[in-house]
């Protein structure tokens, strides 16, 4: 499978990062979202991140300009149908993802590979709603995409070897490393990471420690680059809750029960950095713990 053109669905935190790394690696990228404002914001982030790479001498100014020239945008989802590879990076809700794939299917080339950047949802189930479960895979990038080296490759029960081999090769062209996961809820990284974050929230909820003491303990005591509550805010508390719910529903084990405090924060709209408030308040110059 010769992959040269890539369609990315969603220009948010993950989608714009995915578009960035593919364009920098030489692929022609078409980026889509539901509003022009979202596309403009996504392109602005890509430019900012490429500029940062230039300032740090990771890439040259000419590389940046060529990469930006490889990215086109559209508000019409079906325009992506003629690309070789499509990566869905929309909201972590199965109904949204399924609707996107159902809209795309009638417009695809026969050889187009469909993938989802889902961090937890069943690849087999998503694939079953398309006309090509053999050419469907989980293609899970880590956040922030331009910085993080890992890509999780998740085969659905029907994914064929040719598709897996093609995507494994794509990961190598991006200069990243692939880790293969079986199709079980939350795969590898989030199966381990998000319950740890949930347990940190329980530790706060039960009064064992404050926000700052919990984060300090894990950074200095376990050598984590970010504390678990700081990381939760970075990921998005709504995303953390969505993944915990997938684990709880999919594995039926009480150890995956979302902490009530996490639920309450999401109900309040305190989703972390993106809303300026979560376990920290981001409205000032420095983040301040909210509890």
Cβ count near 207 (within 10 Å): 8
- Whether 223 sits among the annotated catalytic residues: the reply is no
3-state SS record for the chain: CCCCEEEEECCCHHHHHHHHHHHHCCCEEEEECCCHHHHHHHHHHHHHHHHHHHHCCCCCHHHHHHHHHCEEEECCHHHHHHCCEEEECCCCCHHHHHHHHHHHHHHCCCCCEEEECCCCCCHHHHHHCCCCHHHEEEEEECCCCCCCCEEEEEECCCCCHHHHHHHHHHHHHCCCEEEEECCCCCCCHHHHHHHHHHHHHHHHHCCCCCHHHHHHHHHHHCCCCCCHHHHHHHHCHHHHHHHHHHHHHHHCCHHHCCCHHHHHHHHHCCCEHHHCECCEECCCCCCEECC
Known binding residue 255? Answer is: no
- Whether 128 sits among the annotated catalytic residues: the reply is no
- Whether 140 sits among the annotated catalytic residues: the reply is yes
Cα 142 to Cα 59: distance, rounded to the nearest angstrom:
21
Known binding residue 274? Answer is: yes
The residue annotated as part of the active site, out of 140, 181, 198, 248, is: 140
The residue annotated as part of the active site, out of 88, 94, 152, 230, is: 152
The residue annotated as part of the active site, out of 119, 120, 181, 198, is: 119
Known binding residue 250? Answer is: no
The residue annotated as part of the active site, out of 16, 120, 122, 190, is: 190
- Whether 248 sits among the annotated catalytic residues: the reply is no
Cα 61 to Cα 118: distance, rounded to the nearest angstrom:
33
Please give the C-alpha separations between residue 133 and each of 51, 129, 171, in angstroms, as whole numbers: 39, 8, 20
* Backbone dihedral angles phi then psi of residue 66, each to the nearest 5 degrees: -65, -40
Known binding residue 15? Answer is: yes
Known binding residue 11? Answer is: yes
Known binding residue 264? Answer is: no
Known binding residue 181? Answer is: no
Known binding residue 10? Answer is: yes
Known binding residue 221? Answer is: no
Known binding residue 198? Answer is: no
Q: Which residues are annotated as a binding site?
A: 10-15, 33, 92, 97, 119, 143, 274
Q: Which residues are annotated as a binding site for NAD(+)?
A: 10-15, 33, 92, 97, 119, 143, 274
Q: Give the catalytic positions in this structure.
A: 119, 140, 152, 190
């Amino acid at each position: 499978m010769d992959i040269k053109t890539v369609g990315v669905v969603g220009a948010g935190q993950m989608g714009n990062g995915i578009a960035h790394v593919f364009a920098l690696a030489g692929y022609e990228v078409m980026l889509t979202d539901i509003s022009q404002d979202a596309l403009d914001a996504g392109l602005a982030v890509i430019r900012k991140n490429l500029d940062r790479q230039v300032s740090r001498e990771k890439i040259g100014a000419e590389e940046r300009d060529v990469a930006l020239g490889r990215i086109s945008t559209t508000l019409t989802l079906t325009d992506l149908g003629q690309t070789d590879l499509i990566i869905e990076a929309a909201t972590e809700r199965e109904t949204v993802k399924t609707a996107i794939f159902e809209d795309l299917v009638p417009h695809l080339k026969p050889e187009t590979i469909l993938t989802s950047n889902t961090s937890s949802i069943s690849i087999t189930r998503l694939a079953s709603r398309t006309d090509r479960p053999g050419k469907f895979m989980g293609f899970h990038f880590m956040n922030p995409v331009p910085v993080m080296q890992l890509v999780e490759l998740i085969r659905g029960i029907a994914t064929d070897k040719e598709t897996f081999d093609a995507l494994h090769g794509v990961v190598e062209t991006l200069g990243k490393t692939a880790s293969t996961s079986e199709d079980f809820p939350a795969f590898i990284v989030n199966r381990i990471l998000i319950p740890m974050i949930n347990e940190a929230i329980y530790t706060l909820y039960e009064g064992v420690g404050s926000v700052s003491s919990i984060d300090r303990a894990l950074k200095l005591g376990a050598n984590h680059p970010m504390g678990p509550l700081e990381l939760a805010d970075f990921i998005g508390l709504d995303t953390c809750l969505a993944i915990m719910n997938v684990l709880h529903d999919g594995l039926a084990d009480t150890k995956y029960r979302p902490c009530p405090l996490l639920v309450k924060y999401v109900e309040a709209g305190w989703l972390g950095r993106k809303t300026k408030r979560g376990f920290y308040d981001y409205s000032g110059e420095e983040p301040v713990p909210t509890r």
